[in-house]
Amino acid sequence: MTSSTKTASVKQKIAQQVIVNQTNTYDVNQEMVVQGKQADNERLKLESDFLRGTIANDLNDRITGGFTPDNFQLIRVHGMYQQDDRDIRAERQKQKLEPLHNVMLRARMPGGVITPKQWLTIDKFAKEHTSYGSIRLTTRQTFQFHGVLKPNIKLMHQTLNSVGLDSLATAGDVNRNVLCTPNPIESKIHQQAYDWAKKISEHLLPRSNAYVEIWLDDDKVETTETNKDSIEPILGASYLPRKFKTTVVVPPQNDIDVHANDLSFVAISKNGQLIGFNVLVGGGLAMTHGDQSTYPRKADDFGFIEVGDTLAIAEAVVTTQRDWGNRVNRKNAKTKYTLDRVGIEVFKTEVEKRAGVSFAPSRPYEFTERGDRIGWVAGIDGKHHLTLFIENGRILDFTESDFQEKDFDKKDQTKQLKTGVAEIAKIHHGDFRMTANQNLIIAGVAEQDKAQIEKLARQYGLIKDDVSIQRTSSMACVAFPTCPLAMAEAERFLPTFVTKVENILEKNNLSDEAIILRVTGCPNGCGRAMLAEVGLVGKGPDRYNLYLGGNKGGTRIPKIYQENLTSAAILTELDSLIARWSTERKVSESGAKEAFGDFVIRAGIVSEVKVSKRDFYD
């Protein structure tokens, strides 16, 4: 039997499994498995020979700039999304050309830490080999390349590998880039939490050799009858039912939005040492317009574990979701729906059984802050750290045409953000830390280097003294022109929209305050609008659903206020609501002023979302 015949035989036998995600490690409780015809993504994963598919063949096909439908899905696990420039799609159709296919790559970078050497390497690649020339900081605490054409894809992966980076498992039905609070002040606790973020990321990675075979020209490992069961001991032959997101967070900063993630480890410390984690399971923000079986959901607190049990618990949560998650309906395939379907206690008990660990009662903690501390802060290690506000995370040298086309303020025409970060990287002796709020921290700056770092940051427009706290409290996903799912503008829409919100705040004598504002171009949740005080979710060109009532701590889901509004109509509504907030809000005995999200609930403008499945749509 030839090698190819053996491989085909193995694929066929795997595909015949009744429980496609079952491995030899665990017995699957049949009652917990959703019955019915499985989604087509399950077929393509099983037939992919552990994520290889025919990607290598597609790379050599110069007739098209894109990938075949199955490989279009498979390259996601390799860290890429196939996209095209939607601004010119219609014109290309008129010219009888296919869309200008390219890929977006998202790097794997647990905790968002990158060295100056690595930064200079990605800066050079973005300049020379991407259509947009930018580096995009994302809400997943890493960077993205946009507009990489097929001839440069392999070079991109090899360039990353040359400086110790990769993009494995940053998209697709796997555990994605692991987030970690980038707090440089409490350096000892942060370092311990960051170390665990890296360990979790490595532990949950796909074991298949496909990534290094295809992109780094490693020798192919054949799939055989004897090795197929050991290739993916955690993720299984058909990987996870849907994407899975994990974070490590250090209170009091909820700067990674724990309730947006399937699994979060909340650091608990004692006497300056990390002793364990409270484990939160089942958060997620994505939904589908018009489908009330989908909804955003807060995570549930399963309890406390000692630090040594972290990997066992992470694996147990992932494998339970692997075996019990919905493989029939992808819209209900995330961990949040599994918990609501089987019951929180049932899921928790199964995790304890698989991990051989019992959860202890949760330890007390509190989130008092959420965003990033813009500007300089001093750490307990004597080093200094500068957090730069990067609007929408887009690091780019802006040209005159950019300002004309994108309606930037003329005062910002001196911004040369990409050049500025590169110049800092050339002299910086610490590291950079990307945040989940799309900002960049220049970390580990010695006292004698502060002045030079700040001078460069100001010279290239990376520091602007007149940036309002409203602007730093606002965030958007990418949306147009690159995201294929976008229904409305987000990144390009936000700057001008924030300016108008700033004007409303100023009119009401609230210029020194801010509302957490998030905009997403579709309901998939990348901009985390479902944890905002004011959330705009795109429905069509200049049409958004308006959600109100999240809170400052990021622990409450907002509720829909009005549907399908134009941006002008939204501003009219906010004008009226903010005016009421300024005159009707309460002030506590300690002088704390009622936040906007709390006010709209107390005033009865929207009702509080306490249990998403029950009252998000009521």
- DSSP codes joined into one string, 271-305: TTEEEEEEEEE--B---BTTBTT---BPPEEEEEE
Q: Could you give the 3-state DSSP secondary structure of residue 106? A: strand
Q: Which two tokens stand for residue 122?
A: 């990605």
How wide is the angle at C-alpha 573 spanned by C-alphas 607 and 285, nearest 5°?
A: 50
Exactly one of 52, 243, 348, 543 is catalytic; name it.
243
Q: Is 477 annotated as catalytic?
A: yes
Active site residue 522: yes
The DSSP annotation for 543-612 comes to EEEEEE---TTS-S--EEEEEEE-HHHHHHHHHHHHHHHHHH--B-TT-PBPPHHHHHHHTTSS---SSH
**Strand order from edge to edge, sheet including 246-249:** 179-180, 246-249, 263-270, 273-281, 300-306
From the list 483, 543, 556, 559, the catalytic residue is 483
DSSP secondary structure string for all residues of 322-371? HHHS-SS-GGG-SHHHHHHHH-HHHHHHHHHHHHT-PPBPPPP----B-S
Quickly tell me which residue has 């949950």 as its tokens.
Answer: 204
Closest to 214 in 3D by CA, of 11, 49, 52: 52
Question: Of the candidates 398, 173, 390, 200, which has an alpha carbon nearest to the alpha carbon of residue 313?
Answer: 200
Residue 440, amino acid:
L
526 is catalytic: yes
| Catalytic annotation, pick one of 526, 528, 539, 552 | 526
Active-site residue flag, 243:
yes
Which residues, 6+ apart, have CB-to-CB distance to 465 below 8 Å?
none
Judge whether 106 counts as a catalytic residue.
Answer: yes
Q: Measure the CA–CA gap between 280 and 199, rounded to whole angstroms.
A: 18
Please state, in angstroms and rounded to a whole number, the distance separating the CA atoms of residues 126 and 335: 35
Choice among 45, 52, 76, 106 that is catalytic: 106
- Active site residue: 140, 150, 245, 552, which one? 245
245 a catalytic residue? yes
Angle at 531 between CA 536 and CA 464, to 5 degrees: 75
Active-site residue identified among 11, 136, 176, 383: 176
Q: Is 180 annotated as catalytic?
A: no
Nearest to 413 by CA among 401, 429, 395: 401
Residues 6 or more apart whose Cβ sits within 8 Å of residue 553:
254, 367, 368, 370
Instruction: Say how far apart CA 334 and CA 175 lie, in whole Å.
Output: 12
Instruction: Write out the two tokens for 154.
Output: 């392999």
The answer to whether 286 touches 294, Cβ cutoff 8 Å, is yes
Give the active site residue among 522, 528, 552, 559.
522
Query: Among 452, 462, 465, which Cα is nearest to 419's?
Result: 462
Helix (H, G, I), strand (E, B) or coil at 490: coil
Tokens standing for 409? 């303020």
Q: Which two tokens stand for residue 273?
A: 């040492």
Nearest to 78 by CA among 108, 101, 41, 42: 108
How far apart, in whole angstroms, are the C-alpha atoms of residue 280 and residue 276? 13
Residues with a known catalytic role: 106, 176, 243, 245, 477, 483, 522, 526
